[in-house]
C-alpha cells in the first residue's frame, strides 16, 4: 500500500496535527514564502512521489489567502508526482455561493471547485457543506462528512427534559430533525427572511417551544445575528433557555460578545473544523480529528466512508455517524 503524506497550510495546523496522530503518521513540513510583490510560493518538505498526499486546509479568514495556499500545495504535490492528491477541507466557505439569486451573480462554490481540479486534486474530503448541492460542482469524488453524531453525543450527557431541537430556518430543518431523532426530542424551526448579508428577520416559529429548553442547531455561525434573532423570537414565545450547537463556529465580528453574554444561552458547543476563538474559554469544542483520520484511512485502503454514518434513515438526509448507544 502506498504511503500517506499529510501537509497543512497555515489555516489550522492544530487540527492537521490531531488528524496525523489519529493516522499514526507525522505531519510533513511546508515552506510557505511571501515575495516582496505579495505573491506566495510553496515548497513541500517531504517526498510525494507515488504517495497518497492529503492537504489539510479549512477555508477560514483570511479565506483567499488560505485558498491560495491550498492551491499551491496541491500544485506542488502534482508536480512532485504524487499518486493521488486529496484536499481535506473541513470548512468549505464558498459553499455559501451556490446559486444565482440575482442578475450577473458569481458562483464562487463552482469556481473554487474548478480551481481545485485545475490545481490537480483527485478527491475532496469535507464536512457539513452549507449548501449540499455544492457537492455536484465537483467532477471528482467528494466525501461529505457530518458532525451530527458528535453533537448528539454531547447532548446525551445533559438532562433533556422539556427540550426541543430548533432550526434557525426551514432550510436546515431536515438536519435538525436528524438530531432530534438521535436525541428522541421534538423539533421546531424558524421562518427566516434574510434582508442582507448580516441582517435577518425571524417572523415565526413552526413548532411548540413554550416552556421548553431549546437546542438550537445550525451548520455554521458567523456573526451570530441569525441566532440572536432566533433567541428573541423564542423568548417571545415562552422558551426558557437555549443551548447552541453548530459544526463550523467561525464567530466573527461581534459573535462572541453576542452569544457569550446573552441571558438565554446556557452553553455553546461547536467542533474544531475551524480554529476556536482564543477569548472564549467557556466555548465547548468537540474534535472531528478522529472522524477525519478514520475517513482518510478508509479512502487510502479503498474502503467505504459512508458506513461511518450507518444508523440513521437516509431518506431524511445524508447518513449520520452511528453512535455507541445505537448498538444497545
pLDDT digits (tens, 9 = 90+) for 86-108: 999 999 999 888 778 788 889 99
Q: Which of 166, 222, 223 is nearest to 192 (CA)?
A: 166
Residue 117: per-residue pLDDT: 97
C-alpha cell at 208: 411548540
Structure confidence at residue 316 as a pLDDT band (50, 70, 90) = very low
Residue 193: per-residue pLDDT: 72
Say if residue 231's pLDDT is above 80: yes
Say if residue 320's pLDDT is above 80: no
Least confident of 129-143, 236-250, 291-305: 129-143
Say if residue 322's pLDDT is above 80: no
Say if residue 306's pLDDT is above 90: no
Structure confidence at residue 131 as a pLDDT band (50, 70, 90) = confident
| Catalytic site includes residue 100 | no
pLDDT tens per residue, range 276-295: 999 999 999 999 999 999 99
Structure confidence at residue 325 as a pLDDT band (50, 70, 90) = very low
Residue 328: per-residue pLDDT: 34
What is the rounded average pLDDT of the residues 236-262?
96
Return the higher-pLDDT residue of 2 and 300.
300
Write down the mean pLDDT value for the chain: 90
Cα-only R_g, the chain = 20
Say if residue 163's pLDDT is above 70: yes
Question: Which residue reads 427572511 in cell numbers?
Answer: 193
Domain borders along the chain are 4-147+289-309, 148-286
Say if residue 321's pLDDT is above 50: no
Give burial (CB, 10 Å; 0-12/13-18/19+) of 248: buried
Say if residue 212's pLDDT is above 80: yes
Among residues 174, 192, 212, 233, the one annotated as catalytic is 192
pLDDT tens per residue, range 36-86: 999 999 999 999 999 999 999 999 999 999 999 999 999 999 999 999 999
Question: Quick check: do 4-147+289-309 and 148-286 share a fold?
Answer: yes
Say if residue 194's pLDDT is above 70: no
What is the rounded average pLDDT of the residues 133-162?
93
What is the rounded average pLDDT of the residues 224-237?
94
Residue 189: per-residue pLDDT: 94
C-alpha cell at 292: 477525519
Fold of 4-147+289-309: Rossmann fold (3.40.50)
> Thinking of the domain 148-286, which architecture would CATH place it in?
3-Layer(aba) Sandwich (3.40)
Q: Is the pTM of this model over 0.85?
A: yes
Cα(231)–Cα(223) distance, integer angstroms: 14
| Cβ proximity of 277 and 250 under 8 Å | no
Residue 170: per-residue pLDDT: 85
| Cβ proximity of 227 and 172 under 8 Å | no
Say if residue 17's pLDDT is above 70: yes
Q: Which of 197, 190, 195 is nearest to 214 (CA)?
A: 190
Amino acid at each position: 500500500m502506498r504511503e500517506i503524506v499529510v501537509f497543512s497550510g497555515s489555516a489550522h495546523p492544530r487540527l492537521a496535527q490531531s488528524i496525523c496522530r489519529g493516522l499514526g503518521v507525522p505531519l510533513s513540513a511546508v515552506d510557505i514564502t511571501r515575495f516582496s510583490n505579495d505573491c506566495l510560493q510553496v515548497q513541500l518538505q517531504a517526498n510525494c512521489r507515488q504517495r497518497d498526499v492529503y492537504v489539510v486546509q479549512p477555508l477560514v479568514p483570511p479565506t483567499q489567502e488560505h485558498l491560495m495556499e491550498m492551491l499551491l500545495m496541491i500544485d506542488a504535490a502534482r508536480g512532485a508526482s504524487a499518486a493521488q492528491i486529496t484536499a481535506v477541507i473541513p470548512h468549505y466557505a464558498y459553499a455559501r455561493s451556490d446559486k444565482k439569486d440575482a442578475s450577473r451573480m458569481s458562483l464562487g462554490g463552482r469556481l473554487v471547485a474548478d480551481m481545485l481540479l485545475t490545481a490537480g486534486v483527485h478527491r475532496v474530503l469535507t464536512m457539513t457543506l452549507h449548501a449540499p448541492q455544492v457537492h455536484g460542482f465537483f467532477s471528482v469524488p467528494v466525501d461529505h462528512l457530518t458532525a451530527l453524531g458528535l453533537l448528539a453525543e454531547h447532548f446525551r450527557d445533559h438532562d433533556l427534559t422539556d427540550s426541543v431541537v430548533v432550526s434557525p430556518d426551514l432550510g436546515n430543518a431536515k438536519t435538525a430533525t436528524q438530531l432530534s431523532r438521535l436525541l428522541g426530542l421534538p423539533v421546531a424551526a424558524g421562518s427566516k427572511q434574510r434582508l442582507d448579508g448580516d441582517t435577518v428577520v425571524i417572523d415565526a416559529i413552526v413548532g411548540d417551544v413554550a416552556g421548553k429548553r431549546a437546542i438550537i442547531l445550525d451548520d455554521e455561525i458567523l456573526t451570530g445575528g441569525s441566532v440572536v434573532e432566533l433567541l428573541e423570537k423564542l423568548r417571545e414565545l415562552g422558551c426558557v433557555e437555549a443551548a447552541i450547537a453548530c459544526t463550523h463556529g467561525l464567530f466573527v465580528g461581534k459573535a462572541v460578545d453576542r452569544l457569550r453574554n446573552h441571558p438565554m444561552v446556557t452553553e455553546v458547543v461547536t467542533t474544531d473544523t475551524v480554529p476556536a476563538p482564543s477569548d472564549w474559554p467557556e466555548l465547548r469544542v468537540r474534535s472531528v480529528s478522529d472522524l477525519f483520520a478514520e475517513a482518510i484511512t478508509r479512502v487510502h485502503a479503498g474502503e467505504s466512508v459512508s458506513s461511518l454514518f450507518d444508523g440513521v434513515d437516509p431518506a431524511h438526509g445524508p447518513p449520520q455517524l452511528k453512535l455507541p448507544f445505537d448498538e444497545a
